[in-house]
Structure 1
Amino acid sequence: MKTTTSPAGEVTAVGPSGQKDEDVLFAFTGRTWDHARTMAGVSLLCEWAVRHGSTNESVLSGSHIAPESLDSPHELVTARQEITVIRNILRQHADRRGIGTEIGKQYHLTTYGHFGYLLVTSGTVREMVSNGLRHAPLSFALSEIRAYATASGGFHSTYSADYLPEPIRQFAVERDMAASIQMQRELFPDPDAVRLAEVRFASAEPREPDAVQREYFGVPVSFGHPVSGLVYETGYLDTPLPLANRHTASVMVDQCERIRSERLRYTGVTARIRELLLTRQCLDLTLEDVAAQLHYAPRTLRRYLHQEGTSFREVVEEVRRSLAYDLLRERAVPREEVARRLGYHDWSSLARALRRWNMSGLSEAPRPAL
C-alpha cells in the first residue's frame, strides 16, 4: 500500500488499483462481457466504418454475420462476433486515432431498447448507475465497469478490459466510456447537467489525448494512469433525473431482469449452474451441493459468480422465477407440488415470493389438491 499527500497536507492510503481506502464500491458489472447482444451494436460499427470508406462485407468478414441481417430487430450476436468486427475496423483504419471515442458517442439511449428506458426512468444518478451496471448484459459494453462513491459525496467509475487482446482492450474502454457519457447527456435536457470533471486513461506512458477526445469530453483528458475512469464533481450522484417514474422503472426492472437472465444463460459459470438447477426436480440445493456437482470448491464458485456480477442466491431466484411462470400456467399442477418443485416448504412461502416477483395473479386460479 502506498500513500499520497494532498496540497493541504492530508495523507490518504491508495491501493494498487488507484482506489482510495474510503472509496465505496456501490455498483459493478463483473466480467459479464461475453454475453449475447442485439444486432444494433454491430450495425453502429458498420455504419461508422462505411462512412469512412469501408464496406459492410469487409467489416463483417470472418464474423459469420450476413450484411442483410444488420437491420434485424430480433437476431442476437455473440461478443466474439462483435470483437471480430472491431478487429476488422481497427485494421482497416489503423492510421486513425480516437476511433473508440468517435464510435462510442453514436450509442444513443434509443439504441438500447428496454435498457434505455430503465435508465431514463431511474430516480437519481446513483439509481441510474446501479441499474445500468446491474443490467450491463443488455448493453454493448466489453469493459468491466465499477462505480465508487466517496465520503465527501464524490463519484468516479473505472473501466478495465485486461482480459481482452490488444488493441481491442483500448478500443473497448474508450468506446464504453464515451458511450456512458453520451447516455448521461441524453438523460438531461441540459448536457451541462452531467458534471464530468476529468477523464483518465490507463497506459504505460503518459501521452497527449487526441483532438476527438478533447472535444468530445470537454474536460481534462490524461493518460498514464493505473486504471481508466471517469471522475465526476461532488454531489452528482444525488442529482434527480428529469423523467424519473418509479412505476415505469419498476416495470422496466422486471423486463430487464428477464432479458438479463436470458443473455447470461449461455455463458460462464452462471450458465452451468442454471443448467444444473433446471434439471432438478426440486430446487432445494445449497451452494455447497452445486459446487460439489460442478467440481468446484464453494469459495471458488462464489468468487466466479461475483466476477460475473451475480450470486448463487440471485441465480436460484431467477431460475425459481422462470420455472414458477411455467408451472403456474399449468393449472393441473397442485399448489403444494409447485411449491415443492421450486424448493419452498409450503405454499405460503411461495406466495410471498410470487408477490415479490409481481406474479400473484398467476396463482389465483383454483388448483387440484394433492
Structure 2
Amino acid sequence: MDADAAVIPLQLHPLGFIEAFTQLDASLATLLRGTGISQSMLDDPRARISYAQQARLIANGLSQCHRPGLGLLVGQMFDWSYYGSVGGVVQCSPSLRAAGEAFQRYLMIAQPWYAFRGRRATTYLDLDGMIVDPLDCFPAGGAPEPLRQFESEFRLAMQLRIWDSCGNKAAPDTSIRVCLNHSEPSYAHLYRSLPCTSVRFDCPRSYIAAHRHFVLEPFRPFRRRAFDRIIQRCEQELVESQVEPSYRAKVRWHVFAGFNKRPPLNEIASMLSVTPRALTRRLASEGITFREITHEVRMELTAHHLRCSRLSVDQIAELMGFSCASSLRRAIRNWSGSAAGTMREAPPPSAARRINTRQFSSKAVSRVIARS
C-alpha cells in the first residue's frame, strides 16, 4: 500500500490518538504541525489521511508527551468509538472469540492496510486447553524504533481490554497471561496495571493466553441480537469502504471465523448478501472454488498448529477433523511438500521484532519526526 495514499478515516484511529495525546497535555497545534492535518478537518466525516501522516502525528505525540510507556497509557484511555461501529461489540459480544473475530475482520475499515494482509492463522490451541494469541501483527518494513514500541504497547493494552471485557468470567479459569519477548523496562508497573493476571518478560515470544473456556464459551446470550445488528452494520460499512479486495478474501474470513463449525456455502453466501450460485460464480471468476478455500484454510490452520502448538500430532489431527495422524501427515505432505515432522522441528514464525524498551531520548524522537 502507498504510504502517501489518503485512505485512513481521520474520524477513527487518528482522532482517537489526537484526543489521547491532548489529554496527556500535548498542544493540538503542535501535534498537527507538519502532518498536513488542519483543525477544520477534524470535524469533516469524509476526511482521510495517509499512513505517512498518521506516523507523523504519532511521532509528534511522542515528542510532546514525555512519559515512559506512552503506548500503554494511550491504549488504556483510547475510546472504543474510534474503532467505528465494531467498537460496540465490546459491550455485547456473546464470547471473546466472537469479539476477536469481529475486531480482526472490521479493523480494515479504520486501518485499510489490514485488507492487504488478509486473514491468516494466528491463534492456536496449546496444552492444558490454553488458547494462545501471538502478538506479532506488525506491518513489514523498517518502522522507526520509537513508533514500533508505541505500536507494541498500544496494541497490547487494547487487546487486553478486549480480553478482559469479553472473556467468560464464569469459566473455571479466568486468568489472562501475558508473555513478552523483551526485557523488563523501568516502567514495568504500567504493564502490571493492565487487565491481566500476570506479565512475564524475556520470553522467547510475545503472546496473550487464556483457557479455552474463557475464550470460546458464550456467556451473554441475551445480547446476541445487539451483537448481530452491529455485525450487520459493520458488513455494510465494509462494502461501502471498498477496501476488501476479492470474494476469495471475504470467504476466507468467514471460513476462518467459523472453522470449528464448518460453515457451508449457503451460510457464507447469506452472510455476504448474495445467493450461493452467485457466490460460486464470483469465486470461479477469481479462479478458485469454495471447496478449495475451505481446504486451504484447514491446511493453513493445521500447519500453524504443527509449527506453534505443543499438542501431539494425534491431538492436532483430531482438532482439525482428520481421521487419524497418518491422514494428517499425508495431507500436509501433499499440500506443502514437507513432512509433518519437519514442520514440528522448524522454529515457530517469529513474533514482533524484539523491542528495545529503554526510554527514548528527545533526539531519537526528533529523528522519527524528520523521517515521517
TM-score, structure 2 as length reference? 0.55
Q: How does 1:325-340 map to 2 (within 5 A)?
A: none
The answer to whether the 8 A contact 1:173-1:228 is kept is no
1:106 has 2:77 as partner: yes
Partner of 1:147: 123
Say which is worse superposed, 66-75 or 99-108, in terms of deviation.
66-75
The DSSP-based 3-state class of the residue aligned with 2:94 is coil
1:92 has 2:64 as partner: yes
The answer to whether the 8 A contact 2:168-2:174 is kept is no
- Once the two structures are superposed, residues 135-187 of structure 1 have per-residue CA deviations (whole angstroms, 9 ceiling, x without a partner) of 22145698989322335321221222262332211211210121122234444
Partner of 2:146: 167
1:200 to 148, 164, 179: 179
Task: Sort the Cα spacing of 1:74 and 1:186 in 2 relative to 1 into closer, same or farther, 3 A.
Answer: farther
Percent of residue pairs bearing the same amino acid type: 18
Following superposition, the deviation at residue 126 of structure 1 comes to 1.8
- Structure with the higher fraction of residues in strand conformation: 1
Following superposition, the deviation at residue 229 of structure 1 comes to 2.1
The answer to whether the 8 A contact 2:9-2:49 is kept is yes
Task: Sort the Cα spacing of 1:179 and 1:343 in 2 relative to 1 into closer, same or farther, 3 A.
Answer: closer
Task: Sort the Cα spacing of 1:191 and 1:117 in 2 relative to 1 into closer, same or farther, 3 A.
Answer: farther
Partner of 2:53: 81
Task: Sort the Cα spacing of 1:242 and 1:47 in 2 relative to 1 into closer, same or farther, 3 A.
Answer: same
- Structure with the higher fraction of residues in helix conformation: 2
Following superposition, the deviation at residue 225 of structure 1 comes to 3.1
Partner of 1:53: 25
Q: Which runs of 5+ in 1 are unaligned?
A: 1-33, 275-286, 288-301, 326-337, 346-370
Q: How does 1:1-370 map to 2 (within 5 A)?
A: 36-93=8-65, 95-139=66-110, 146-150=122-126, 152-160=128-136, 161=138, 163=140, 164-187=143-166, 195-203=174-182, 205=183, 207=185, 209-242=187-220, 245-263=223-241, 265=243, 271=245
- Once the two structures are superposed, residues 108-155 of structure 1 have per-residue CA deviations (whole angstroms, 9 ceiling, x without a partner) of 334333202345443222222222212221456989893223353212
Task: Sort the Cα spacing of 1:194 and 1:36 in 2 relative to 1 into closer, same or farther, 3 A.
Answer: farther
Structure number with greater Rg is: 1
Distance 1:252 1:192 in 2: 26
CA RMSD of aligned residues (A): 4.6
Distance 2:226 2:113 in 1: 28
Following superposition, the deviation at residue 106 of structure 1 comes to 1.6
Say which is worse superposed, 174-183 or 233-242, in terms of deviation.
233-242
Give the number of equivalent residue pairs: 257
Task: Sort the Cα spacing of 1:194 and 1:168 in 2 relative to 1 into closer, same or farther, 3 A.
Answer: farther
Following superposition, the deviation at residue 206 of structure 1 comes to 5.2
TM-score, structure 1 as length reference? 0.55
Following superposition, the deviation at residue 102 of structure 1 comes to 0.4
